[in-house]
Structure 1
Amino acid sequence: MKNTLLLLLLAFSSCYGQTNKKFNLDFETYNPFIQLSKDWFKWGDYPLSVDTITVHSGKFSGKIKSNNNHNTFGSIAYRIPANYTGKSIKLEGYMKIKNVENGFAGLLLRIDGNREILAFDNMENQNIHGTKDWQKYTVKLPLSEGAKTIFVAGIMSGSGEAWFDDFVLTIDGKDIQTLKEIEKPILKATLDHEFDSNSKVNFPELNETLVTNLELLGKIWGFLKYHHPEIGKGNYNWDFELFRMLPKYSDTKSTSERDQILLQWIEKYGDINICKDCKETAPEAFLKPDISWINEFGMSTQLINKIKYIYKNRHQGEGFYIGTDGYERIKFLNENHYYSMSYDDSGFKLLALYRYWNMIQYFFPYKHLTDKNWNTVLKEYIPKFINSKNKLEYELACIALISDINDTHATTSVGFSTVQNIRGKYYPPFRAQFIEDQLVVTDYYNPELKDVSNINIGDIITHINHRPVQSIIDSISPYYPASNNVAKIRDIAKDLLRSSKKEIRLDYISNHQKKQHQLPLYIESDLNTRWYKWTGEPCFKLLEDNIGYITLEFIGKEDIPNIKETFKNTKGIIIDIRNYPSTFVPFTLGSYFVSDNTQFAKFTYGNINNPGEFNFKSGDIITKPDETYKGKLVVLVNEDSQSQSEYTAMAFRSGDNTTIVGSTTAGADGNVSSLYLPGGLLTRISGIGVYYPDSTETQRVGIIPDVEAKPTIKGVKEGRDEVLEKAIEIINNN
């Protein structure tokens, strides 16, 4: 037995790799848990892997592969703190490519500051494509003093395969592996590991008093996390300070004892100097900080005054737990993922709730738009989190909490493995959507599977495994975060026919006849689920009656001059954004439809110096073009139009002669911010607020069409695009 264990450990060590290098730029340290080389991560859409056969040297190389001829990309990337001085930085590396078409492959080097990209090169201008054996390539950039992060990567767009190996990064000619980093103070918070594997927290039986006290503690804990100067400086591991506090606090017998414990706890972290830079909340602030909860718990005057004093003299600037990125999005920092937490550990489960509630309380730009009063949510979920019995119940509690912010950006796909496993890895061979409130088969991912499916386009599915479709929707709806109902139903439709088994029973209606069928399912990689519509044709074409048509799903920036030239004399242009644009076009293409400088959006940004304050800043403006399109513009939207799609529709709406046609969009606009919860659960929120220039909301509301047009079951059966037909009708009716 001992020999077997030793062999397993040796095998794991060999698999994980052995290298003494500071950075794993040669891909030689392999991490089997992520199935990539250690510390490498994914950018873009394409699958990544580690190759052990095709290598330049050593045992491993990084690989990108895609069979899709569309205008997106995949990248295998590595992040290095810019803790070095120098004038120039150079990335060298080896790359091999095979059948790279409709795109390019290259090395990528990017230098980021606090709030902006300082320098960038991905070799796109070298147009490297086709098939090439291992060759050495070089990217060189200036290294400015404001650099905070260095990204190195291999990148590929279009279709084909690309391998990367033996990256070397040098600063002023010296290998970064040998350079000494700029010495930075070691923050005390990073040295505290007492509770890494166990919070050592056990709660007595929950009652109303204890739940109320835990609600108060959660609000004070989060307030101190983002306001107390000593915590902002990184002098305390605030997660573990909670665990130290909880046992004594949970046993309090009276309000006065509770308040005394809280006062002693706060005073433990030292005196706070008068803040000369702290500013009062701007009178014109769109959202103002809310600490009204201090008056709701019957706290002593002394404790209330202590909290008010801390607020008045709060931490300023980027803190240990909070900052901003180059796009002024809120960035959550130094949040331990606790991958190995035990799901019977009440301390970690309560920490997850406290962490998320306070992130939303202080840094979510749309907190005022949630269905529930956010101040009441914390107390509601305390029993749900503490009493969750296993990983599944914990994940479901987290998803339900996340759903309560009513934000379609709030993804729950990464880390929620138990829920995803129950939903299943097998998918139907066709797409089903809700048309006229019925679950309707609308298209096949793989046409060759139509015969085995035994179901026709336009058929209505009524029961799944003997359960009515509506009954299933009602039971799972709380676990699908969404800004509005159209986005929720869209996402539910994608999962209704998923299963952990290889087939499901369907009851359906075909040509007014009730039928049943055991439907075979397939793993997602065997289905063309994402790009099944792509035919390799250009993203634009001329329709009958001299009308131009553009789909943004596959548009490239190189297409835009051709579009303007081809369509300049048409009587109308239809832009289809019932998809996610592959290229950012609000300014490059949007300028074609305005006759003067035109503001089409404005934004709210969080203030890390005053958590909870959001202010409007100057909106985006489309500049006056050299030539304005003279015909009609019709923009197509529906529930698949989300985020960048909605922002792009706002830009086009500002055109001189624009009509939005379709149905309400997903209602999730604004750059996203990512956050982790204990257990390695990754989710996101809309990180900035997006509004029309007159302050009209887009979040949750979506883009409201000027002319409503939706598919019908009859139209689906006939293979018609009724929304496109309505657009053509509008252009033809002068």
Structure 2
Amino acid sequence: MKKIIFILLVCILMAACTNTNTAQIKKVENQENVLFYDRDEKIAHNKEFDKGSGIKSIDMNEKNVENIFALAKVWGYLKYYHPNVAQGEYNWDYELFRVLPKVINIDSTEERDKILCAWIDSLGSFESINEGEPNTIPVLEYKFSDDLENRLLNIQNAKRENSNFYVSLVDEVGNPNFINEKAYSLMGYPDAGYRLLALFRYWNIIEYYFPYKHLIEENWEEVLKEFIPKFINASNELEYKLSVLELIGRIHDTHANIWSNDKTLERYWGEKYAPVIITFVENKAVVTDYYHTKLGEKSKLKIGDIITKINGVPVEEIVSNKLKYIPASNYPTQLRNIARVLLRTNDYVLHIELIHNEEIKSVDVACYSASTLNLKRYYENLQKQKVFYKLIDSDIAYIYPEAVRDRELSEIMKEVENTKGLIIDLRCYPSESIVYSLAEYLLPENTEFVQYTVGSLLTPGHFTVKGTLSVGKKNEDYYKGKVIILVNEKTQSHAEFTAMALRTAPEATVIGSTTAGADGNVSYFYLPGGILTAISGIGIYYPDGSETQRVGIVPDIEVKTTIAGVQLNKDELLEKAIKVINE
């Protein structure tokens, strides 16, 4: 089994989104006269909806929501199950815009299902390979007419190639690669049809290719019904993109967010920054550093100050209102992420109420652009200051994987081998994959540490265990000292994967708190409006099948940073690690 190499989650800069004019609404004179393009006509008209779907608004009555809900399920099912659609014979985005006007404002479910039946029939014939049982596929959990159900069941039994025009599985790993999903980047605020396309695309990708769908707390179908009016009624670009963010948040995956550099969302969070860094400690917003030392000290905010109100609004209220727009696998990671936007604004000053040494104070804090604060330099300097390896004393070694290189390990481990303890600080994202090479020094034999699941092109929505992964090799001279692995909410994805592997060492102990709970290779895709998003693409589990997603790496010894520790500039996790080694 080749090693899985995880993708570093980064924000990718994409083309700026701008509004574009849309075509006029196309009226269907006779709903019963359902006409669909044949194959040649589809190819000839594949630019028909390039500038808009022609659907500017839809009445959000109960019947329309139900009809659109049914269409979303059928549209997604056909996209991934119908062999002719899978071969790329149809522009499936544009097929939505052709059928959508025919199913809205239909009062009769029987008439709606007749339209859907005619649509399916227009897609052509296919070869069947076996007979299936009713209600074995998610789409049939919804009550359609008998004729429509039979067609859907026949499609389940269709002979399919192990390929699909819209999705492939990455070689040797198996995470989905969502190909041929157009971004429509020029549509900053897409029309109603394209907004529904975004919802349909996202919902069905989760339905069929998200390995952790079973961990979504809510009924995923009810989420679809809830968001149909939200996407239709989004009256501007910001409302649309906030609706997308809120939808992404419902899958509880720290890998999932809007990763494109979106100017509209930047303005929403604020284009100016207070010069201080906030971290949630003991569920309180605490000043832990300065972006810019001179301007930070000028703000009169001190390290360890507890921010209680911003412009008169309690921090708890701000968090409660904004948290739905902060996707993450668990609450500690949501707090990690909301801390980064808490003191952003479009104003020049924020009025801050705080607690300093148990005294309540108020200060007006000047805010600056990212260029004035030189945020890029701050993060570059932060990286340069990180020591990749050091001896804490003659008996305890320390490795920081964000700064260490794989080629440096052999020299490092020569110094480590005679120490009584090694601290591996995974409160970071490793700069390189050192998990396999480092494990060879720490383990006496090859050891399984993870199993993983992948989706399917033949039966979308089904996930199977593809294999297990092991680290280490037979090594009588393995490191005999104690191995301490430090983790917290900054430990994410490949860092969590690394912690899973290294904790199999004989004398390993994990110290810290809840990690980000997002493990597995990342799969990116676009939504209309140039929105780049992603999901965890494969399921990562311990060898016994227990979960890592949302749960994260559960420490053997729980230690959390305290406000008192911040005020005293203490690293309480590191101190605990040294204590455990010396015991």
User: What is the TM-score when the length of structure 2 is the normalising length?
Assistant: 0.89
Distance in 1 of aligned mates of 2:528 and 2:13: 26
| Aligned-residue offset at 1:190 | 9.3
1:473 to 308, 315, 319: 319
Q: Which structure dedicates a bigger proportion of its chain to strand? A: 1
Pairs within 5 Å for 1:300-315: 300-315=145-160
* Residue among 546, 549, 565 paired with 2:398: 549
- Work out whether 1:244 is the aligned partner of 2:103: no
User: Deviation string for 1:71-93 (max 9, x for gaps)?
Assistant: xxxxxxxxxxxxxxxxxxxxxxx
CA distance 1:405–1:45, shift in 2 (3 Å): closer
Given the superposition, is the C-alpha separation of residues 310 and 443 from structure 1 closer, same or farther in structure 2, using an over 3 Å criterion?
Answer: same
CA distance in 1, matches of 2:338, 2:203: 25
Correspondent of 1:412 among 248, 251, 258: 258
Distance of aligned partners of 1:236 and 1:415 in 2 relative to their CA distance in 1, 3 Å threshold: farther
Question: Secondary structure, in 3 states, of the residue corresponding to 1:549?
Answer: strand
SS across alignment from 1:587: helix
User: Which of 493, 496, 504 is 1:654 aligned to?
Assistant: 504
Match of 1:214 in 2: 68
1:384 aligns with 2:230: yes
SS at match of 1:448: helix
Q: Decide whether aligned partners of structure 1 residues 187 and 664 sit closer, same or farther in structure 2, where only a CA change above 3 A counts.
A: farther
Task: Describe how 1:224-239 pairs up with structure 2 within 5 A.
Answer: 224-239=78-93
Q: State whether structure 2 residue 422 is matched by structure 1 residue 569.
A: no
Q: 1:292 to 1:319 in 2, by over 3 A?
A: closer
Q: Does 1:199 align with 2:48?
A: no
Matched residue, 2:472: 623
* 2:261 equivalent to 1:261: no
1:560 counterpart (409, 417, 421):
409
Residue 188 to residue 375, structure 1, CA distance change in 2 (3 Å): same
Shift of residue 608, structure 1, vs aligned partner: 1.2
Structure-1 separation of matches of 2:501 and 2:579: 23
Q: CA deviation at 1:618?
A: 1.6
| Shift, 1:380, TM fit | 1.1
Deviates more, 1:634-643 or 1:523-532: 523-532
Tell me which residue corresponds to 1:296.
Answer: 142
* Structure 2: distance between partners of 1:545 and 1:270: 74
Mapped to 2, the partners of 1:632 and 1:457 lie a distance apart of: 33
* Partner residue, 1:730: 580
Distance in structure 1 (CA, Å) of the matches to 2:451 and 2:457: 20
Query: What is the alpha-carbon root mean square deviation over aligned residues?
Result: 2.4
Q: Find the aligned partners of 1:44 and 1:396 in 2 and give their Cα distance.
A: 21
Q: How much has 1:325 moved relative to structure 2?
A: 2.2
Counterpart of 2:46, as a letter, is D
- Alignment-derived partner of residue 398 in structure 1: 244
Structure 2 residue ranges without an equivalent (≥5): 1-7, 15-39
Question: What's the CA shift string for 1:281-313, capped at 9, x where partnerless?
Answer: 9xxxxxxx973442433x221210110000111
Work out whether residues 415 and 680 of structure 1, in 8 Å CA contact, stay in contact via their aligned partners in 2.
no
Aligned to 1:175: none
- Contact 1:203-1:250 at 8 Å conserved across structures: no
**Preserved contact between residue 395 and residue 416 of structure 1 (Cα < 8 Å):** no
1:694 deviation in Å?
0.5
Evaluate the alpha carbon distance shift between residue 252 and residue 693 of structure 1 in structure 2; reply closer, same or farther with a 3 A threshold.
same
| Cα deviation digits, residues 638-683 of structure 1 (max 9, x gap) | 0000001100000111111100001010100001000111111110
Q: Which residue number corresponds to residue 433 of structure 1? A: 279
Q: Offset at 1:425?
A: 2.3
**Percentage of pairs with the same residue:** 43
Aligned residues of 1:446 and 1:532 also touching (Cα < 8 A): no
Please, which of 351, 372, 387 is the counterpart of residue 218 of structure 2? 372
Q: After the TM superposition, which residues 118-129 of structure 1 pair with which residues of structure 2 at under 5 Å, given as runs? A: none
Q: Relative to 1, partners in 2 of residues 1:355 and 1:426: Cα closer, same or farther, differing over 3 Å?
A: same
1:328 aligns with 2:174: yes
Distance across 1 between alignment mates of 2:502 and 2:186:
48
Which of 585, 590, 606 pairs up with 2:439?
590
Distance 1:268 1:572 in 2: 69
Residues 188 and 234, structure 1, Cα contact 8 Å, conserved in 2: no
1 or 2 for the larger relative contact order (CA 8 Å, sep ≥6)? 2
545-554 or 440-449: bigger deviation? 440-449
Unmatched runs of 5 consecutive residues or more in structure 1: 1-42, 50-185, 282-288
How many angstroms apart in 2 are the aligned matches of 1:614 and 1:557? 33
Q: Is 2:459 aligned against 1:610?
A: yes
Q: How many residues align?
A: 546
* 1:273/1:48 CA distance change after superposition, 3 Å: closer
Answer whether contact 2:521 2:537 (CA < 8 A) is retained.
yes
Is the CA contact 1:462–1:469 (under 8 Å) kept in the aligned structure 2?
yes
Q: Residue 520 of structure 2 contacts residue 539 of structure 2 at CA under 8 Å; is this kept in 1?
A: yes
Partner of 1:639: 489
Conservation of the 8 A alpha-carbon contact between 1:187 and 1:234: no
- Provide the rounded CA distance (Å) in 1 between the counterparts of 2:187 and 2:11: 31
State the shift of 1:429 in Å: 2.2
Q: Classify 1:225/1:190 alpha carbon distance in 2 versus 1 (closer, same or farther; 3 Å).
A: farther
One-letter amino acid of the counterpart of residue 354, structure 1: F
CA-CA distance at 1:480 after TM superposition: 0.6
| 1:30 aligned partner | none
Distance 2:458 2:580 in 1: 50
State the match for 1:710 in structure 2: 560
- Aligned equivalents of 1:231, 1:707: Cα separation in 2: 52
Aligned equivalent of 2:183 = 337
Among residues 533, 550, 565, which one is paired with 1:700 in the alignment? 550
Q: How far has the Cα of 1:558 moved from its partner?
A: 2.1
2:565 alignment partner, SS class: helix
- Residue aligned with 1:224, SS: helix
Partner of 2:308: 462
Match of 2:35 in 1: none
- Maintained 8 Å contact 1:198/1:342: no
1:558 aligned counterpart, secondary structure: helix
Match of 2:21 in 1: none
Structure 1: distance between partners of 2:466 and 2:254: 24
CA displacement at 1:234 relative to structure 2: 1.0
Residue 447 of structure 2 corresponds to residue 601 of structure 1: no
* CA deviation after TM superposition for structure 1 residue 392, in Å: 0.8
Structure 2: distance between partners of 1:333 and 1:45: 19
- Distance in 2, matches of 1:347 and 1:730, equals 60
The superposition leaves residues 477-533 of structure 1 with CA deviations (integer Å, 9 ceiling, x where unpaired) of: 100111000110100011101112233121111122222222122333413443443
Give a deviation string over 1:354-403, Cα, whole Å, max 9, x none.
11100100000000001111122111111111111111111111111111
Residue pair 1:490, 1:639 contacting (<8 A) in 2 also: yes
SS in structure 2 of the partner of residue 451 of structure 1: helix
Can you list the C-alpha shifts for 1:119-171, whole angstroms capped at 9, x where unaligned? Answer: xxxxxxxxxxxxxxxxxxxxxxxxxxxxxxxxxxxxxxxxxxxxxxxxxxxxx
8 A contact 1:226–1:315 mirrored in 2: no
Cα–Cα, structure 1 residues 318 and 348, in superposed 2: closer, same or farther, change >3 Å? same
Q: Which residue of 1 aligns with 2:26?
A: none
Find the aligned partners of 1:651 and 1:679 in 2 and give their Cα distance: 40
- For residues 54 and 186 of structure 2, the distance between their equivalents in structure 1, rounded to whole angstroms, comes to 15
Contact 1:229 1:272 in 2 (8 A): yes
Verify the 8 A CA contact 2:53 2:194 in the aligned structure 1: yes
Whether the 8 Å contact between 1:415 and 1:679 is mirrored in structure 2 is: no
- Find 1:520's aligned residue among 355, 366, 380: 366
The CA deviation at 1:247 is 1.4
Which structure dedicates a bigger proportion of its chain to helix?
2
1:249–1:261 CA contact under 8 A, matched in 2: yes
Query: Matched residues in 2 for 1:48 and 1:351: separation?
Result: 23
